[in-house]
Structures are given as C-alpha cells and as structure tokens.
C-alpha cells in the first residue's frame, strides 16, 4: 500500500505519542528532542510507533523510505515512490523555522544543488512534493504537530533564487578580490596582503511557522494537551487512496476530537488568489 500523509495521520490518531523524549531515549533511538521528533515522524509514516524490535523496525523503515538524510541538506526523509519530508522542531508556536543555507521549497527537484548525491540517486525521480512536519516541543513533550505541503507554504524557487543570485552578483562586483567556486553565496580568497585570509558568505534562511502562516484558518485551541493540524490542497488530497480518505471520514463521524473541513488558503506566489484545501484537525483535551 502506498504511504501518504493520511497514513501517518491515521497512525498518530491511533497512538498519539507525546512524551517523545522519555520514549525515544528509553529505546536508545534519540539523543535529543530534535532527533526524537524525527524518529517519531518516521514511525508515524512507516507504521512502527509500537514496534519494539529494533531489527524489525529497521526493516520496515527500509521498506517505507528510499532516503533518510542528514541535518545539513534537505530533505530529512523520502517516502519510497512518494513524497519528501522535512522535519522541524520549535519550542513555541511563535518561533520561526531555521532553514539555514537552504531556502524553503515548494517542491523538491533532483537537479537541485542543495541535495546530496545519495538523495539524488536514492530512486528514479525528477521532482517530489515536500511535506513540512513541524513539531512544537515543550520540554520532553510534543504539544502540537503541523503538516503542510511546500507547494502551499513556499513561493516558487525563482523567487528565492533571484535574491540569492543578486547577492552573489553584488559580492562579485567588489574590485581587487579573488573569488572561489562555492555552493554558498560566495567565498572571497586572499582578502589581505599576505593572501592568508578568506571570507565565506552563507545564507541563513528562515520562515514563519505554519501556526502563524495559516492562523487565518487554524482553530484557536487553548485547552489541549496535544493537537495536530494538517493542511492539504484539494488536488493532493484527491490523489490519496480512496480507502484512506474513507477511513478519515469514518473516524470523524465517531471521534469528536477529529475533524476535517474544506478551507481556502492563499497561493504563495500570489496571496490575492485562493485555492481549495482540506484542514484535518485532531486534538486531545487537557484532563
């Protein structure tokens, strides 16, 4: 069965683990909360949240994913034959996401200079939809979890490339300095008369988190110990297996804590225009 975002949402609803630090450190699977969140997202998509046997879990993760990356290059995960996933941890719902040298992605392309060769060759692909999975972690506890597709969150690549290229051109216009080839914004060698000093110019991209970006459609829940919000444009939602869409719909009729509704969201390249999307919400109230 094809793994989708709905697969992960259904798995989380069935077992909404919140004490990530305690759980994943006890299983020796994470050293910090960022790692614990990423492992939880892997387990949610692979259906291994309750898998205690490490060897069986690794086998299932291998079946589910064609790539699990590193901290320096996007993405963190690629579903085999499916979407890419970028996992981000923040400590409160007002914090921004630090993307470092990589600008936000509407889609992930195999010819991007920002991905590793192992990512590029993990399977046959040219472009993938990318999911941003953002967790709000307080202490050792996962309080909120947001899923949003890059196509609904970030502008087209040319918007960011224009800024990056303009900065590079400006740096290269400085007279009497030596430039070197780099994947960063620039590198200037032999800055001083001895020729022993160099300057690296790096981009540090950031973006508002989904809670703030989509505040105009998200519910304002204050009496919850955990909540999940997923924003999925209608075209993508329609591409999911009918069995999963039916399962979500049936659950909403049984569970008051789960909801799905039609919303309109701003198009990142032109916020004056709106497009249809589904908003899936799941919450656990404070006891």
Report whether pLDDT(30) > 70: no
Place of tokens 């992605």: 105
Looking at 18-27, 51-60, 204-213, which range is the least confident one?
18-27
Instruction: Return all residues near 269 (Cβ < 8 A) that are at least 6 apart.
Output: 155, 156, 159
Within-domain flag for 276: yes
Domain with 19, as residue range(s), is 5-157+205-282
pTM of the model: 0.92
Report whether pLDDT(222) > 80: no
Q: List Cα–Cα distances, 118 to 11, 19, 68, 73, 78, in angstroms.
A: 29, 33, 10, 11, 11
Number of domains the chain is built from: 1
Instruction: Return all residues near 216 (Cβ < 8 A) that are at least 6 apart.
Output: none
Looking at 100-109, 181-190, 236-245, which range is the least confident one?
181-190
Q: List Cα–Cα distances, 252 to 17, 219, 284, in angstroms.
A: 20, 16, 14
Largest CA distance in the chain: 74
**Chain segment 77-91, per-residue pLDDT in tens:** 999 999 999 999 999
Per-residue confidence (pLDDT) for residue 72, from 0 to 100: 77
Within-domain flag for 199: no
Within-domain flag for 245: yes
Contact at 8 Å (CB) between 197 and 188?
no
The count of other CB atoms within 10 Å of the CB of residue 185 is: 17
Within-domain flag for 186: no
Alpha helices in 143-201 (DSSP H): 157-172
Per-residue confidence (pLDDT) for residue 144, from 0 to 100: 94
Q: What is the band of 62 on the pLDDT scale with cuts at 50, 70, 90?
A: very high
Q: Mapping DSSP to helix (H, G, I), strand (E, B) and coil, where does residue 73 land?
A: coil
Hey, what long-range contacts does 162-170 have (CB within 8 A, 24 or more apart)? 164/103, 164/203, 167/201, 167/203
Within-domain flag for 95: yes
Return the ∠ at Cα 121 (arms to 64 and 38), rounded to 5°.
40
Within-domain flag for 218: yes
Per-residue confidence (pLDDT) for residue 23, from 0 to 100: 73
Average pLDDT, the chain: 90
Within-domain flag for 182: no
Contact at 8 Å (CB) between 8 and 16?
no
Q: Mapping DSSP to helix (H, G, I), strand (E, B) and coil, where does residue 80 land?
A: coil
**Chain segment 91-149, per-residue pLDDT in tens:** 998 999 999 888 999 999 999 988 999 999 999 999 999 999 999 998 888 999 999 99
Return the ∠ at Cα 159 (arms to 158 and 162), rounded to 5°.
75
Per-residue confidence (pLDDT) for residue 171, from 0 to 100: 77
Contact at 8 Å (CB) between 154 and 207?
yes
């Amino acid at each position: 069965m094809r793994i989708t975002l709905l697969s992960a949402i259904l798995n989380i609803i069935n077992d909404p683990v919140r004490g990530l630090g305690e759980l994943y450190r006890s299983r020796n699977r994470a050293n910090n909360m960022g790692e614990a969140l990423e492992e939880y997202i892997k387990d949610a998509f692979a259906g291994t949240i309750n898998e205690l046997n490490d060897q069986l879990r690794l086998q299932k993760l291998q079946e589910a994913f064609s790539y699990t990356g590193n901290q320096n290059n996007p993405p963190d995960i690629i579903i085999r034959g499916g979407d890419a996933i970028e996992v981000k941890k923040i400590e409160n719902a007002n914090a921004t996401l630090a993307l470092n040298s990589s600008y936000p992605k509407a889609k992930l392309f195999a010819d991007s200079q920002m991905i590793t060769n192992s990512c590029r060759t993990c399977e046959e692909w040219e472009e993938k939809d990318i999911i941003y999975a953002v967790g709000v972690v307080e202490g050792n506890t996962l309080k909120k979890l947001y899923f949003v597709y890059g196509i609904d969150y970030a502008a087209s690549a040319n918007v960011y490339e224009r800024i990056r290229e303009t900065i590079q051109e400006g740096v290269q216009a400085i007279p009497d300095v030596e430039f070197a080839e780099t994947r960063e914004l620039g590198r200037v060698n032999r800055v001083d008369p001895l020729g022993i000093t160099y300057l690296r110019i790096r981009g540090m991209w950031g973006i508002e988190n989904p809670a703030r970006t989509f505040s105009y459609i998200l519910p304002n829940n204050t009496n919850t110990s955990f909540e999940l919000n997923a924003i999925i444009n209608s075209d993508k939602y329609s591409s999911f297996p009918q069995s999963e869409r039916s399962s979500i719909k049936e659950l909403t009729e049984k569970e008051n804590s789960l909801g799905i509704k039609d919303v309109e969201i701003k198009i990142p390249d032109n916020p004056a225009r709106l497009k249809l999307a589904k908003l899936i919400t799941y919450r656990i109230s404070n006891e």
